[in-house]
Amino acid sequence: MADTANPGKPPAGPETTGHEWDGIREYNNPLPRWWLYGLYATIVWSFGYWVLYPAWPLVSGYTSGLLGYSQRATVLDEVEAVRRERDARGQAQLASATVAEIRADPALLRLALATGKAAFGDNCAACHGTSATGRIGYPNLQDDDWLWGGTPEAIEQTIRFGARSGHGEAHLGDMPAFGRDGVLKRQELEAVATYVLSLSGMPGVAGASVEKGAEVFAGNCAACHGEAAKGNPEMGAPNLTDPIWLYGSAPDQVVATVTNGRKGMMPAWEGRLDPATIKSLAVFVHGLGGGK
């Protein structure tokens, strides 16, 4: 506090340290001696710390200390402990319950969704995308259009055995190569492509006849896709009347599909993932929003 009573007049009494800088002198207010000892104690402490804990950076690495402590190891231990606890509680229940039972139990459903989300990122995202929106040739799992059925049980079935995967119980059924195998001529291919695009109100190949396309469809396609072109999940035949096109909805893309056929492959996951994970994946994929 400044001397408000007597400005200019130095306060009487206190001694100085004897130091002087440009006429400014420093009062000597000696610190208590224990304060100095406190400083020494922290120096001693720091030596102990250097020996016991990671301290000094080296050219490649650092001194790790006698205790071998590291925060990363501590965090990994904690994460492992939480994982073990979760596994013990929930995974056994997931393995023994059916998909329907899992969906009926809110706690189990939450666990399955979390497990499924993690497993999807690890196993499915490579083809179907991290947000399950798919891409050309790989189905979008967010929407409500399902090649092999969209019930939780049907999804579980597809994940377990796959489609055209070589597994004995896999979904089978190809889209034949009508053009390459010489079944249909170029004009007919364009006509049928224009016809199926017209079912969902989309433009077809310029100059192609829709009426002729309808004839071709009835003769060649209706067996699998149905008279009304609504598709058949038993054979993996897609619904051709909706705006969702797995291999693209541009006229030449549809023509290419009819010409060369399609046989997309979904691997079988049974044996590669445990039953609890497969069920969780089915619940998760169904819960993305498009499930039936």
Q: Answer yes or no: is 221 a known binding residue.
A: yes
Q: Is 27 in the site for other proteins (CB under 8 A)?
A: yes
* Torsion sign, CA atoms 209, 212, 217, 218: positive
Q: Is 28 in the site for other proteins (CB under 8 A)?
A: yes
Instruction: Return all residues near 194 (Cβ < 8 A) that are at least 6 apart.
Output: 204, 205, 208, 209, 210, 213, 251
Q: Is 136 in the site for other proteins (CB under 8 A)?
A: no
Among 140, 157, 257, 277, indicate the residue that binds other proteins (CB under 8 A). 140
Whose CA is closest to 121, among 283, 281, 291, 272?
A: 281
Options 107-115, 163-171, 202-210, 270-278: segment touching other proteins (CB under 8 A): 107-115
> Measured between alpha carbons, how far is 149 from 161 in angstroms, rounded to an integer?
14
Q: Answer yes or no: is 225 a known binding residue.
A: yes
Copy the structure tokens of residue 46. 């720091």
Among 8, 22, 23, 33, indicate the residue that binds other proteins (CB under 8 A). 33
- State which H helix or E strand residue 19 sits in: strand 16-21
Closest distance between other proteins and the C-beta of residue 77, in Å?
A: 18
Between 22 and 211, whose beta carbon lies closer to other proteins? Answer: 22
Closest distance between other proteins and the C-beta of residue 272, in Å?
A: 26
Q: Would you say 249 and 179 are in contact if contact means Cβ atoms under 8 Å apart? A: no
Q: Is 2 in the site for other proteins (CB under 8 A)?
A: yes
Between 242 and 270, whose beta carbon lies closer to other proteins? Answer: 242
Q: Is 15 in the site for other proteins (CB under 8 A)?
A: yes
Between 16 and 63, whose beta carbon lies closer to other proteins? Answer: 16
Q: Is 14 in the site for other proteins (CB under 8 A)?
A: yes
> Measured between alpha carbons, how far is 1 from 16 in angstroms, rounded to an integer?
18
Q: Answer yes or no: is 286 a known binding residue.
A: no
Site for other proteins in 216-245 (CB under 8 A): 239, 242-244
Q: Is 133 in the site for other proteins (CB under 8 A)?
A: yes
Closest distance between other proteins and the C-beta of residue 78, in Å?
A: 16
> Which pairs count as long-range contacts for 161-167, CB under 8 Å and 24+ apart, including other chains?
161/268, 161/270, 162/265, 162/266, 162/267, 162/268, 162/269, 163/236, 163/264, 163/265, 163/266, 164/263, 164/264, 164/265, 164/266, 165/265, 165/266, 165/267, 165/268, 166/268, 167/268, 167/270
Between 244 and 273, whose beta carbon lies closer to other proteins? Answer: 244
Q: How far is CA 20 from CA 23, 28, 30, 202, in A?
A: 6, 12, 17, 93
Between 170 and 276, whose beta carbon lies closer to other proteins? Answer: 276
Taking the CB of residue 289, how many other CB atoms lie within 10 A of it?
11
Among 20, 36, 79, 248, indicate the residue that binds other proteins (CB under 8 A). 36
What are the binding residues for heme c? Answer: 124, 127-128, 175, 221, 224-225, 266
Q: Footprint of other proteins on this chain (CB under 8 A)?
A: 1-6, 9, 11-18, 26-36, 103, 106, 109-110, 113, 130-131, 133, 140, 142-145, 239, 242-244, 287-290
